[in-house]
Amino acid sequence: MNILQWMIFCCLGILLPGCSKDDPVKDPPPPPFTGFEVPAGFPAAAYKLANNNVTAEGFELGRKLFYEPRLSRNNTISCGSCHLQSAAFTHHGHDVSHGIDDRLGSRNSPPIMNLAWNTTFMWDGGVFDLDLQPVVPITNFVEMDETMGNVLIKLRNTNPYPALFKKVFGSEEITTARMMKAMSQFMVMVVSDQSKYDSVMRKQGPTFTPEEQKGYALFQQKCNSCHTEPLFTDHSFRNNGLTPGPNNDEGRYPITLNPADRYKFKVPSLRNLAYTAPYMHDGRLYSLSGVLQHYAAEVTDMPTLDPLLKTNGKPGIALTAEEQQQLLAFLNTLNDRQFIRDKRFSEEAQ
Amino acid sequence: MYCTRMIYILLIVATFTACKKDGTAPAADSNVKATLSIQFDNIVGDKNLQLNTGVYKNAAGESFQVSRLKYFITNISVKTAAGKEYIVPKDSSYFLVSEEDAASQFVKVRVPEGEYTSLSFILGVDSLSSVMEVSKRTGVLDPSAGMDDGMYWGWNMGYIFFKMEGISDAAPVDPSGQHKFRYHIGGFGGYSAPTLNNNRTIRVDLTAAGVAKVRSGRETNIHLMVDVLKMFNGSTQVSIAANPTVMFGDFSAKIADNNAQLFRHDHTEN
């Protein structure tokens, strides 16, 4: 094959998929499974991938388990019940979630997103290993109200699980560790890195509008110390000045018993905010303008209030109405439409 | 001639040794491992513990019944009079003692043959084991095995080291309509931020009540009495009325201190 032929061949390769657009039945073939990859510009993952190499089969088993209602006592609630892909894996529209028998929780469902970089899990950081995180909702009285032992029995007696576990782990044996590792393989793959912000940073073509650019400058000046790029969280626990709610949730304090941790919650990522309302650990704020209003004017001073939320002894972050608009414009560049539509992560993919 | 006499003497010594039944063991070979059993015999003061039926009284004068008693025994080691210590490998040293399960009250480990004058173990699950990778959490540490009564804390990751629950008129009525007390003592010191460590190392001297003479071909049993009344009547007097529920909070450290005093060596069966 000479060079010219080769070039024509390549061009055809590019053109041909374009032709198939006329055929509504045929989806483009899924990209080959590449395992877990750190996106350009992201730091190294915190999750110990060396202990759990992500394979196509493991990822698929993990996804199946993620959408498996048998994880709950009466086979009604799956992880996906309160972590909806269309809501960036949160429970859109619910301040707190309803689990089994419509029992209510006390905190807002956090997103399953970029978990490979998380050092702790839950709003209070009480879980420090992703491989043991699913035990909590499974055994929680208001979420799935099941025992781990029972879940394993159900999976062992349900086809095609034994065969799927054999494909991933070499034998049909279903253990806590195997189940958890498969779920982690799915969860670490759920990466959001295709927002406009990412394209701008990677210089892939799109640029910020002037308003977004001003918002970005404001963000770097006033928000970035806690919501640190590119994950938009520094994984720390902070009191952001929300008045304690009726249940007096003290956040991190019951985990560490350190009085300095009272009312501190994990700094959440700001990615995909458009899909994840309501906001805050108890979902008390229903809109982003409400969130900015909180930081601008409604921060409550408390002994454990984060020092960064105080200027000259005054609580809050000074933000004019115009600045709030600019910030909102920037925050909207963090939405990743591809992420919430990615078929690899969806229940229908099975 | 001298040699013959020596052989006679040796034979006589050997014969007498073999005949003796009062605990004199054959020579120990520290290169050979044998089973050592440690019995955890749960009692309440002067009475045997009887789940759900026995009625007991603590120093605060409160009557109570026990419906559940479980605790982790880990990190077992033994020491000879000469101070030579043998630490049972960590992964062979995780045990969950349960009053409901008689077999669980005999903790069995393999140690070199020898005469042991002291025993040590942790009441709890040490910090390193508490943060282990999930695939190493097998047996009693598997969150799916024996945990249905909840000896694993998911929300604040770690194990419940000691759990005692029961009924007492001194306890206020709970949402389920029962007068129940619940003591769930755990806390390994924290993963990313330091917090309570309620692991307690227990050292038991065996010299007074019977040195453990471990040999292959038989099973030495160190019989420990575990007096749960001391959970109430320890250096801190615990009242059910004042503290009907103790889980992960500052007061749990006081109970952990009391619990370090539960164990008394009664005798050894060699």
- The predicted model gives A127-148 an average pLDDT of 91
- The C-alpha atoms of residue A121 and residue A130 are separated, in whole angstroms, by 7
| Per-residue pLDDT reduced to its tens digit, A200-234 | 999 999 999 999 999 999 999 999 999 999 999 99
Reported ipTM:
0.80
Amino acid at position A348, single letter:
E
CB A155, CB A161: distance < 8 Å: yes
Give the A-side interface with B, CB within 8 Å.
Answer: 48, 51, 119-120, 122, 125-129, 131-132, 135-136, 139-140, 147-152, 175-177, 180-181, 254-258, 261
Residue of A52, A53, A71, A128 to mutate when probing chain B, most B C-beta within 10 A? A128
Of B134, B148, B155, the CB nearest to A131: B134
CATH architecture observed for domain A196-334 = Orthogonal Bundle (1.10)
Query: What separation in angstroms does the CA of A101 have from each of A73, A76, A137, A150, A308?
Result: 10, 9, 14, 18, 42
- C-beta separation of B134 from A177 below 8 A: yes
Nearest CA in chain B to A180: B134
With a cut of 70, say whether residue B18 has pLDDT above it: no
Q: Residue A314 is which amino acid? A: K
Q: Is the pLDDT of residue B17 over 70?
A: no
Evaluate whether A132 touches A124 at the Cβ level (below 8 Å).
no
A19 labelled ligand-binding: no
Interface test with B, best of A135, A138, A169, A179 (most B CBs within 10 A): A135
Fill in the DSSP letter of residue B251.
T
Share of chain A above pLDDT 70, in %: 91
Helices (H), chain A: 3-19, 56-66, 79-82, 135-139, 148-156, 161-169, 176-189, 196-201, 210-222, 253-256, 288-293, 321-331, 337-341
Per-residue tokens: A248:
């007096």
Which band of pLDDT confidence, cut at 50, 70 and 90, is reported for residue A311? confident
- pLDDT of B233 higher than 50: yes
Q: What is the pLDDT of residue A349?
A: 66
CA A69 to chain B, closest CA, distance in angstroms equals 18
User: What is the predicted pLDDT for the residue at B148?
Assistant: 55
pLDDT the model gives residue A30: 67
- Residue A170 φ then ψ, to 5°: 95, -15
| Separation between Cα atoms, residue A174 and residue A172, nearest integer Å | 6
A11 is in an annotated binding site: no
Cβ count within 10 A of residue A98: 16
Q: List, in order, residues 6 or more apart from A86 with CB less than 8 Å away.
A: A92, A275, A340
Which residues 6+ apart lie within 8 Å of B237 measured at CB? B59, B60
So what's the pLDDT on residue A21?
45
Q: What are phi and psi of A266, to 5 degrees?
A: -65, 140
Q: What is the pLDDT of residue B19?
A: 42
A325 close to A331: Cβ distance less than 8 angstroms: no
| Closest among A285, A271, A283 to A219, alpha carbons compared | A271
CATH of domain A49-192: 1.10.760.10
Taking alpha carbons only, the member of B76, B104, B74, B105 closest to residue B88 is B76
Neighbours of B15 (CB within 10 A): 10
Give the DSSP H or E segment for B257: helix B252-259
Which of A159, A157, A229, A163 is CA-nearest to residue A193? A229
Give the separation between CA B116 and CA B37, rounded to whole angstroms. Answer: 13
Q: Are B125 and B159 in contact (CB under 8 A)?
A: yes
Using an 8 Å Cβ cutoff, are B61 and B67 in contact?
A: no
Q: Which residues of B touch A120 (CB under 8 A)?
A: 191-192
pLDDT of B182-204, one tens digit each?
999 999 999 888 899 999 999 99
Phi-psi region of A52 (alpha: psi -120 to 50; beta: other; left: phi over 0): beta
Residue partners of A268: CB distance under 8 A and separation at least 6: A110, A111, A233
Determine if residue A82 is labeled as part of a ligand binding site.
yes
Closest-CA distance of chain A to residue B130, Å: 11
Q: What is the pLDDT of residues B134-152, one digit of tens each?
A: 999 999 999 887 555 678 8
Question: Looking at A18-22, A24-28, A346-350, which range is the least confident one?
Answer: A18-22
* B115 contacts B211 by C-beta, under 8 angstroms: yes
> Tell me, what's the pLDDT at A32?
83
Distances (CA, A) of B145 to A124, B8, B57, B210: 26, 58, 33, 35
* Cis bond upstream, residue B172 (ω within 30): no
User: In angstroms, rounded to a whole number, what is the distance separating the alpha carbons of residues A216 and A224?
Assistant: 10
